[in-house]
Amino acid sequence: MVRTSAPRSRSLNPRLRRRLVPALLLAPAALLLVLVIGYPLVRAILLTFQNFNMLQPSRTTWVGLQNFVQVFHNPVFWIAMRNTLVWVASAVSLQLVFGFIGALLLNQTFFGRDVVRGVLLIPWATPSVLVALMWMWMLDGNYGIVNELLVRVGILKTFFPFLSSPHTALPTLIMIDVWQGIPFFAVMLLAALQAIPLELEQAARVDGANPAQVLWHVKVPLLLPTILITTILRLIWTANYMDLMFVMTNGGPGYATTTMPFFAYTEAYRRIHFSTGATAAFVQALLLGLVIIVYIRILRRQQVV
Amino acid sequence: MTGASQRSTGLGRTRPRPRFRWRWGRAGLAVAILGWLTFALGPYVWMFLTSLKPKSELYTSPVQVLPHSVTFLGYKLLFTTTPFLRYFLNSAIVSAGTVALATVAAVLAAYALSRFRIPGKTYILIGLLVTQLIPSVLMVMPLFLTLRTIGLLNTWWGLILVDTAFALPFTTYLLTGFMDAVPKQLDEAAMIDGCNEITAFRWVLAPLLVPGIAASSTYVFIYSWNEFVYALTFTSTTVSRTLPVGLRTFIGEYLIRWDLLTAGGVISVIPTILFFMLVQRNLIAGLTAGAVKG
Amino acid sequence: MTPASRFKRVVLMTLGALLLGTVLPLSQAFAQGNKTVVNYWLWLDDSTDPVWPDLVKEFNQTHPNIEVKYQTIPLSQYHDRLLTAIGSGSAPDAARFKDWWLGEFVSNDLLQPLTSYIQQWPGSSDVIQNLWSTGKTSADSPVYMLPAQYITFYLYYRADRLKAAGLEPPKTFAEFVQEAKTLTDPAKKQYGFALRGGAGGQDQWYAFMLALGCHLVDGSGAVVADSQACVDANQKYIDLFRVDKVTPPTAPSDGFAQIIGGFESGITTFAAHHVGSSKSLTEKLGDKLGVTNVPPADPNKPATMMAMSGNVVFGSSKEKQAAFTFISWLDSQGPMDKMSRSANGQLPVLASVASEPYYQNNPFFKLSLEQANYAVAWPPLPGVGYVASQLWQASMQQALLGQITSQQMMTQIATALKQK
């Protein structure tokens, strides 16, 4: 309960008020979410148990778990699963680490900090089609500046086709996603850093801690809630992010950059098997659901919920 | 604060300057920042240089770094032959509207989640996350139906509502976390001093939330500014088409208008930078100084 | 800024956005009159090209009781948008269409058969006769797509390079491989042939398959993509990259920009494409540009592929007659000529337009028109959309990289083509 002193309201019965106020506060968000996302979400899930034909919706029937069987028998599904794991794990962990370092850097004072803070945001702020085209051009196997520089410096002997080779295609996309995601983590963690009361840091310093110890023992624990939620959501978003594949590699070479959302998309829109696409996405959602459960457990242990 | 040097930040507040204990302090910082800047901005510099080159200089071997002859034709064509300015305006309105709506809804929700004991709070939190699980390409069709039924296709409001809905979960979580970090005793102290909940929020809580709101509004702005799949499907003409969709129209089946793309690309990142430069001024430590003790 | 004033600002902005967002659509609603409205979708190669918007304006002016409202969608999202619209019951009345999708849409009963409308259309006799088949799904099916613009694949070459090496344009595939080898010098970053292994490369591949004696379907319409002839033809194509090594190392993922950009700037000597790129290439290369047939295995049996983009009317349309009036107007002399002469104009389907000096005197158009006599389009099967947009690329890349054999690739394609 928030208030310890006597109720101040003049109008409503306090108990009613206690129930009503949080409900009213939650209403706008809840309404928006349920109305906008509720129906599509439920529909997408139901579709995994039907054989929905987008082009002839009236001929849809229930098929139980048949879609799951079909999808599990498709070797491309498993390739996509593996690629997604690699994609999500590498991209998010690298973004987190470098983003955190970035937040620490931006927390310092230096000349031109305002401008630098704004400018470093650009990779995150750019529409993905532009990011994809820019990097495609830079990584071009015949005219790319990256190749040119690597050759001039002596790291490469000849131009290397980054996106044509099955071993380097996905790592290249991972690198680009990390490039995009570092500012995101940096901003979120910077805000969290700034919200830490200065007295705590000063008290620790007075007690003789050096900056590294202050960081680890004082700041990081306070940053944990932000780190957790940012990472969890970034995991989910990255798992569903397929713009780079769509523009740069179309899932190739072969299936080297086919991740789950891309596979779901090609099933739904190119093979016109919407239900198998929805099924693949649903399987991924279930796996991500496990991640969410772990997160809620952590929250419970911290007695937040 | 004894011993610490004061420094005005231009907002009427002063704060002590953090000191460095590391030996290579300033130099190391400079190297790190410059390195980061190069990595982050390199592609854009290259894109800008490319946008200045005439077509004949694009495909050369060895790769030419600086343009030998500069042309701004791409920019001129961008503004005179395409509805780029309209796309820009649409994006600006949709993003501004989304930031406004999402921030308001999220602040209210976060206050409820942080300051009240709500039965089923866990389920609400889980529910927020669940909305993010399915990729947008699969949610498009039912959403299209919904918007068509309400009549919000090809309008700013349609996109604002959709973008807000998808941006809300993270924003709410973030702000709830920031609110949780502000001890409830502060609220209570304020109310003992004569505030009710609303003024307690206004005068005590809200100022401490400013870094959180700065971060979350940046996130919402960027999400909405870059959103493509829904913008593509729910808009049909330049009336409401946004920038990412507009940029893609410069890619045809047998033709890629690099000149328009690079020019448009350079211009489309400017608002976000400006937005954040304005907003990040609120990411300043020390706003909670004295709050707990006082 | 105090929280109070910030809050006020937020509220004001929200109200402002609300007001604007409500007023605008209302104002649009008032603009409509009593005309028959036809909703038409199209994609544009060059979105700054005013030809199409001008054509629509012209039609609306000359047909006062019909109003055509058009919507342009980037090609890469075109098919998706159509599917979404159909899936939610809001398909347009008419739309520009690719022959790849014919099988899919017809097998789901989405397109309006146009034969009866065509019979009453005086302009139908002007359409080149053997092009009608591109709009049908079999010899005796009705016409579902009104042909409008098409291309055939030929081979560009660098005339200066061939001349310097004392070579004539290749007449057979074997000659072609030989010449490509002669003109390949990796040290100078020069390669013989711009093989397109990335997205969109299936058309060029199909042209070579046909030239090398492979047919995806036989005379009765049965799928024979996995026949020995096709496996062998495919192997020859793969060998260009793996064995003969006459392609740039980026070939497996090269797309349109890389192929044409590379050819323009001299990385490759031979590149397969069509008349849509002839204008810009001529600007860039002038005399250095030459064009010839896709080199066949047998010089007496030239073959190549053709791709037709036409217009369709949807079965769900409530204004079918008006929609047909519009798309048949697009197939009249004036508009057809304008379309074909525009920046990325393709071949006109009307005999009267095709015989004009502009096309006959242009070497690229001329060659293409000749090829149109024997060029073959993708078979109108439901599985073609999937093969063209996804499967071909994944299989081709795997084959080029040695992950699967030519036999496996052709089997995958055959299986997909046989899908209902």
Mean pLDDT of B65-90: 82
Instruction: Please tell me the pTM assigned to this model.
Output: 0.88
Burial of C378 (0-12, 13-18, 19+ CB in 10 A): buried
In chain A, residues with a C-beta closer than 8 Å to the C-beta of C254 are: 164
Q: B105 to chain A: nearest residue by CA?
A: A29
* Euclidean distance between CA atoms C70 and C48, whole angstroms: 15
Q: Taking CB atoms and an 8 Å limit, are B134 and A282 in contact across chains?
A: yes
* B285: pLDDT strictly greater than 70: no
Confidence label for B189 from pLDDT (cuts 50, 70 and 90)? confident
B interface test, pick of A31, A111, A140, A198 with most B CB neighbours within 10 Å: A198
DSSP letter for each residue of A9-75: -SSS-HHHHHHHHHHHHHHHHHHHHIIIIIHHHHHHHHHTTB---TT-GGG--B-TTHHHHHHHT-H
- CATH 3.40.190.10 positions along chain C are 34-151+307-370, 154-304+383-418
- Report the distance separating Cα C166 and Cα C189, nearest Å: 20
Inspect the interface and report whether the beta carbons of A142 and C262 lie closer than 8 Å. yes
3-state secondary structure at position A122: helix
A298 CB burial (10 A radius; 0-12, 13-18, 19+)? middle
Written as six digits, the tokens of B178 are 């920031």
Which of B225, B217, B161 has its CA nearest to residue A129?
B225
Phi and psi for A219 in degrees, rounded to 5?
-80, -50
Which residue(s) pair with C312 in the sheet?
C95
What is the rounded distance in angstroms from the CA atom of residue A133 to the CA atom of residue B258?
9
- Lookup: tokens for B221: 């702005």
d(C-alpha C358, C-alpha B208), whole Å: 73
* Nearest CB neighbour to C385, from listed A169, A250, A270: A270
Average pLDDT over residues A5-11: 51
Q: With beta carbons under 8 A apart, name residues in chain C contacting A173.
A: none
Give the H or E element holding residue A203. Answer: helix A198-206
Please calculate the CA angle A237-A238-A241 and round it to the nearest 5 degrees.
85
Q: Which residues of C touch B104 (CB under 8 A)?
A: 10-11, 14
Mutation for A interface: B197, B259, B280, most A CBs within 10 A:
B280
Long-range contacts of C388-393 (CB under 8 A, 24+ apart): C388/C100, C388/C202, C389/A270, C389/C79, C389/C100, C390/A250, C390/A251, C390/A266, C390/A270, C390/A271, C391/C416, C392/C201, C392/C202, C392/C205, C393/A250, C393/A251, C393/A252, C393/C197, C393/C198, C393/C199, C393/C201, C393/C202
The whole-angstrom distance between B215's CA and the closest CA on chain C is 16
Residue B12: per-residue pLDDT: 38
* Binary contact (A254, C397; C-beta < 8 A): yes
Task: Please check whether residue A109 touches B, CB under 8 A.
Answer: yes
CA distance B247 to B250: 6
The mean per-residue pLDDT over the stretch B33-59 comes to 82
Q: Is the pLDDT of residue A211 over 80?
A: no
Structure tokens at C354: 């095709």
∠ CA B176-A239-B88, nearest 5°, is: 75
Q: Which two tokens stand for residue C54?
A: 């001008």
Q: Give the nearest partner residue to C20 out of B104, B141, B156, using CB atoms.
A: B156
Residue A58 has pLDDT above 70, yes or no: yes
* A247-281 confidence digits (pLDDT tens): 899 998 999 999 999 999 999 999 988 899 999 99
| Sign of the CA dihedral with B111 first, then B113, B114, and B116 last | positive
Q: Could you tell me if A203 lies within 8 Å of chain B, comparing CB atoms?
A: no
| Candidate from B59, B112, B288 with C-beta closest to A197 | B288
Task: Please judge whether A140 and C258 are an interchain contact, meaning their C-beta atoms are less than 8 angstroms apart.
Answer: yes
pLDDT tens-digit readout, B196-251 = 777 878 777 888 888 888 888 989 999 999 999 999 899 888 888 999 888 888 88
B255 contact partners, CB below 8 Å, separation of at least 6: C45, C46, C280, C343, C344
Q: Please indicate whether, in this complex, the C-beta atoms of B168 and A229 are within 8 angstroms of each other.
A: no
Closest chain A C-alpha to B49 CA, distance in angstroms: 12
Query: Contacts of residue A29 in chain B, CB cutoff 8 Å?
Result: 105-106, 108-109, 168, 172
Rounded to 5 degrees, φ, ψ at C294 are -65, 125
Nearest CA in chain B to C285: B56
Q: Look at residues B5, B1, B13 and name the one whose alpha carbon lies nearest to residue B210.
A: B13
* Contact (CB<8Å) B174/A115: no
CB nearest A252 (choices: C86, C104, C397): C397
Residue among A136, A138, A164 with most chain C CBs within 10 A, to mutate: A164
Of the candidates B97, B142, B206, which has its C-beta nearest C17's C-beta?
B97
CA distance C368 to C370: 5
How far is B236 from chain C, CA to nearest CA, in Å? 6
Longest Cα pair distance anywhere in chain A, in angstroms?
Answer: 81
**8 A C-beta contact, residue C175 and residue C295:** yes
Of A125, A199, A236, the CB nearest to B269: A125
Lowest mean pLDDT of A12-26, A140-154, A160-174, B164-178, name the range: A12-26
Query: What pLDDT score was predicted for residue C212?
Result: 96
Residue C152 per-residue DSSP state: E
| Chains with at least 3 CB pairs less than 8 angstroms from chain B | A, C
Neighbour subunits, A (≥3 Cβ pairs < 8 A): B, C
C110: DSSP letter: -
Q: Look at residue C117 in the predicted model and tell me its pLDDT.
A: 94
* Mean pLDDT (whole number) for B248-267: 78
* pLDDT attached to residue B287: 43
Q: Which candidate from A18, A269, A292 shows the least CB-CB separation from B129? A: A292
C49: Cα within 13 Å, side-chain hemisphere: 25
Domains of chain A: 67-301 (1.10.3720.10)
> Which residues in chain A have Cβ-Cβ distances shorter than 8 Å to B65?
145
Nearest-CA distance A282 → chain B (Å): 7
Confidence check: pLDDT of A224 > 90? no
Q: Which candidate from A8, A28, A199 shows the least CB-CB separation from B105? A: A28
Cα of A262 to nearest chain B Cα, Å? 9
Task: Identify the closest residue of chain C to B139 by CA–CA distance.
Answer: C84
Q: Name the pLDDT band for B294 (thresholds 50, 70, 90).
A: very low
| Mean pLDDT to the nearest integer, A73-78 | 96
* Separation of alpha carbons B274 and C289, rounded Å: 48
**Secondary element (H or E) of residue B15:** strand B14-16
Q: Are the Cβ atoms of A29 and B106 closer than 8 angstroms? A: yes
Nearest CB among A41, A197, A299 relative to B139 is that of A41
Q: What is the pLDDT of residue B5?
A: 37
Give how far C411 is from chain B: nearest CA, Å.
28
The answer to whether residue A10 scores a pLDDT higher than 80 is no
| pLDDT value, residue C343 | 77
| Shortest Cα–Cα distance, C83 to chain A (Å) | 7
Q: Where are the domains of chain B?
A: 19-71, 77-282
State which CATH number among 2.40.110.10, 2.60.40.1110, 1.10.3720.10, 2.120.10.30 fits the domain covering B77-282: 1.10.3720.10
Residue among A260, A79, A244 nearest A162 (CA) = A244
At residue B206, the pLDDT reads: 81
Q: Which residues from A are below 8 Å from B283, CB to CB?
A: 117, 190-191, 194
CB of B177 closer than 8 Å to CB of A232: no
| pLDDT averaged over every residue in chain A | 87
Tell me the shortest Cα–Cα distance from C355 to chain A, in angstroms: 38
Residues of A whose CB is below 8 A from B281: 114
The 10 Å Cβ neighbour count of residue C6 is 15
Give pLDDT < 50 ranges for chain C.
25-31
Please give the residue that has the higher pLDDT: either C398 or B141. C398
* CB neighbour class for A217 (10 Å; exposed up to 12, middle 13-18, buried from 19): exposed
Cβ within 8 Å, pair C44-B144: no
- The chain-wide mean pLDDT, for chain B, equals 80
Above pLDDT 90, what percent of chain A?
A: 46
Homologous superfamily (CATH) for C34-151+307-370? Periplasmic binding protein-like II (3.40.190.10)
Closest-CA distance, B93 to chain C, in angstroms, reads: 7
Option in C4, C46, C87 nearest B202 (CB): C4
Q: How many other C-beta atoms lie within 10 A of the C-beta of residue C327?
A: 25
Kindly state which CATH superfamily the domain C154-304+383-418 is placed in: Periplasmic binding protein-like II (3.40.190.10)
Q: What is the DSSP letter of C90?
A: -
In angstroms, the separation between the Cα of residue C204 and the nearest Cα of chain B is 13
Cβ <8 Å between C24 and B156: yes
Tell me the count of B-C CB pairs closer than 8 A.
120
Residue of B nearest to C29 (CA): B151
Phi, psi of A152 (to 5 degrees): -60, -40
Are residues C401 and A271, on separate chains, in Cβ contact within 8 Å?
no
pLDDT band at B265 (very low <50, low <70, confident <90, very high): confident
Measured between beta carbons, the chain C residues lying within 8 angstroms of A166 are 401, 403
